[in-house]
Amino acid sequence: MTCEGRLTDGDLACLLRDVITELRVQEIAAVPVVISRLRAVGIVPNVHVGRKDLTTRETLEWYGGAILDVLESESWWAVNTLINTVDKFAPLRCL
């Protein structure tokens, strides 16, 4: 199930921006709320995976599903470790 027809593409983009901001500010405390917000609009993990030429709507659903998958599988530590490793050992700009 996707969130087709429930929100406009702009509304869905705003929701994704809002939940990312919640996670950035509140960190793990925001996880249950973010999961609920994404599920409430019909976002599901692994939607459109492996498909090419996604529409704007499908791309938004894909990102929402990816965020939901990371949160529900409690993979945020793995994602955080990857980001920190890149920042520390492969920075875009070396000083």
- Any idea where the domains of the chain sit in the sequence? 9-89
Q: First and final CA of the chain: distance in angstroms?
A: 47
Distance of alpha carbon 26 from alpha carbon 12, whole angstroms = 21
Per-residue pLDDT band for 93 (boundaries 50, 70, 90) equals: low
> pLDDT (tens digit, 9 = 90+) per residue, 30-66?
999 999 999 999 999 989 988 999 999 999 999 999 9
pLDDT for position 91 = 67
Q: Is the pLDDT of residue 81 over 90?
A: no
Handedness of CA 70, 75, 79, 84 (dihedral sign): positive
What pLDDT is recorded for position 94? 53
